Structure 1
Amino acid sequence: MQRVFIVEDDQTIVQAMQTALAKWQFQTQTVQDWQQVATEISAYDPDLVVMDITLPTFDGFYWTGKIRETSQVPIMFVSAGEMDPNAVRAIATGADDYIVKPFALSVFVSKIQAILRRSQRSAATLETLNFEDYSLNILNNELTHGIASVKLSPTEGTILKLFFLNPDQTLSKKQLVQKIWQGGLFIDEGVLSVNISRLREKLAKVDLRARLVTERGRGYRLVRAHG
């Protein structure tokens, strides 16, 4: 049974989330001590975290930063504010997706299922993809190059996987959004741009940043050394 940790202080919303998730056989846990949110999440070891922005002590951006110090667990933000800039800030902080209140519980569950499909691969799936002398483990989203390695978030790993599978091919923003976010009905291209920027920062650690180029007005392309 997959586990979801809910970081939300409105008990009406919490109960609605738990009821909706229980129908799909998810196990859930909520915050007991608002000073120890990151510790409680670590102890529960969930498959996904639902994170509100406005909380009793520190906000959701703070707790996401704390979680990202030690874990790449998928995080979905719940925002009562405008979709931007809160959503973009959430993604930049380390979230994998977001949903804006008020929302339909069916959409809420669908987003969680989509995130988990991106982050969890079956044992039958090919474990690694290679691009020249770079290797991407698509089970744990770890990119290695020689003795150097960098851990990617599930969303970043999905993006890089698409480039590894399509070297020297320009992938449009629309194509990427549709493939990464299950049709992209609730995602705008600004969120993709933030994820690409965050991915590039990590690629710099393994000397791959310059190879992920922007084709202005068209999309992005991962270029071969002698392409």
Structure 2
Amino acid sequence: MFKLMLIEDDATLFQEIKERLVQWSYDVYGVADFSQVFQEFTVVKPDLVIIDIQLPKFDGFHWCRLIREHSKVPIIFLSSRDHPTDMVMSMQLGADDYIQKPFHFDVLIAKIQAILRRVYNYNTDQITLKTWCGATVDYESNTITYSGASIELTKNEMFILKQLIEQKNKIVSREALIKSLWDDERFISDNTLTVNVNRLRKKLDELGLGHYIETKVGQGYMAVEEA
């Protein structure tokens, strides 16, 4: 049974979401003290976190940043705030998805299931090491090593890179990436993919490899590798 931590200060909404998630056989934990969210997170050790932005004491961005400094646990923002910068901020902080309230519960379940499948069944029956542009890409540890230096990627970033590397020197459409990453493109925005790719390229720049991920305007992305 997967453990989900629901960080939501609206007691009525929390109870409603919890009851629905329990029906899907998830073990759901709340927060007793909103000034101690991270401390409670470390005790629960959830498999996935669902968090609101507007919370007492500190906002969800604060707690997402703190959690991400110590853990790669999947994080979904669930918020009534609809400004594009809120979604961009959540992605930049390392969140895996953003759902705007009010929402349809089936959408929430679909996103939770897709993320859990991707994260916890990620390496099943797959090759874990790959060589690309002289770098060693370790799918299992989410690391890339090149010329003695290493960087660490998030699950999303590595998943995107893997899709591009497996089809190197070929254009992978944005639609194909979205579908493979989130299972169903109806449940994710195009802007979220852009944020994730830009974050991936920025990390690759630390190894001097960022320019090998090319943007093909109006088509998609391509991982280049010279013969």
TM-score by length of 1: 0.92
Q: Write the distance in 1 (CA, Å) between the matches of 2:36 and 2:202.
A: 30
Q: How many residues align?
A: 226
Aligned equivalent of 2:14: 14
Are positions 1:67 and 2:100 aligned together? no
Which residue does 2:32 correspond to in 1?
32
The runs of at least 4 aligned residues of structure 1 exceeding 4 Å deviation read none
State the partner residue of 1:51: 51
1:196 corresponds to which residue? Answer: 197
Structure 1 match to 2:94 = 94
Q: Is the 8 A contact 2:172 2:220 kept in 1?
A: yes
> Could you tell me how far apart the structure 1 residues matched to 2:147 and 2:28 are?
40
CA spacing shift, 1:148–1:191, aligned 2, 3 Å: same
* Distance change (3 Å), C-alpha of 1:122 and 1:85: closer
CA contact (8 A) 2:35 2:56 kept: no
SS of the equivalent of 1:33 reads: coil
Shift of 1:122: 6.1
Structure-2 separation of matches of 1:208 and 1:62: 31
Amino acid in the other structure paired with 1:31: V
- CA distance in structure 2 between the partners assigned to 1:18 and 1:96 by the alignment: 20
| Closer, same or farther: CA 45–137 of 1 in aligned 2, 3 Å | farther
- The whole-number CA distance in structure 2 between the counterparts of 1:61 and 1:24 is 28
Q: Which runs of 5+ in 2 are unaligned?
A: none
1:82 aligns with 82
Q: Closer, same or farther in 2 for the Cα pair 1:169/1:186, shift >3 Å? A: same
Structure 2 distance, partners of 1:123, 1:214, is: 27
Aligned to 2:135: 134
Output one character per residue of 1:43-101: Cα deviation in whole Å (capped at 9) or x when no partner.
Answer: 22111100101000111111111111111111000010216232222112211001111
Matches of 1:84 and 1:137, distance apart in 2? 33
Aligned twin of 1:156: 157
Structure 2 counterpart of 1:41 = 41
Structure 2 counterpart of 1:37, one-letter code: V
Write the distance in 1 (CA, Å) between the matches of 2:147 and 2:23.
46
Instruction: Tell me how far 1:131 sits from its aligned partner.
Output: 3.1
1:216 — aligned with what?
Answer: 217
CA displacement at 1:138 relative to structure 2 = 2.9
Q: Give unmatched runs, 5+ long, in structure 1.
A: none
Q: 199-208 or 59-68, which moves further after superposition?
A: 199-208
Report the CA distance between 1:161 and its aligned residue. Answer: 1.1
Asked if 1 retains the 8 angstrom alpha-carbon contact of 2:77 and 2:95, the reply is: yes
User: For the Cα contact (< 8 Å) 1:68–1:94, is it kept in 2?
Assistant: yes
Separation in 1, partners of 2:223, 2:124: 27
Please say if residues 79 and 87 of structure 1, whose CA atoms lie closer than 8 Å, have aligned partners that are also in contact: no
What is the match of residue 144 of structure 2?
A: 143
Whether the aligned pair in 2 keeps the contact of 1:164 and 1:222 (CA below 8 Å) is: yes
Change (3 A) 1:124 1:64: closer
TM-score by length of 2: 0.92
- Residues in 2 aligned to 1:99 and 1:13: alpha-carbon distance in whole angstroms: 15
Compute the displacement of 1:136 (Å). 3.2
Give me the whole-angstrom Cα distance separating, in 1, the residues matched to 2:85 and 2:182.
19
Contact 2:111-2:187 at 8 Å conserved across structures: no
Contact 2:54 2:60 in 1 (8 A): yes
Asked if 1:113 is matched to 2:113, the reply is yes
* Deviation of the 1:37 alpha carbon: 1.0
Aligned Cα root-mean-square deviation (Å): 1.8
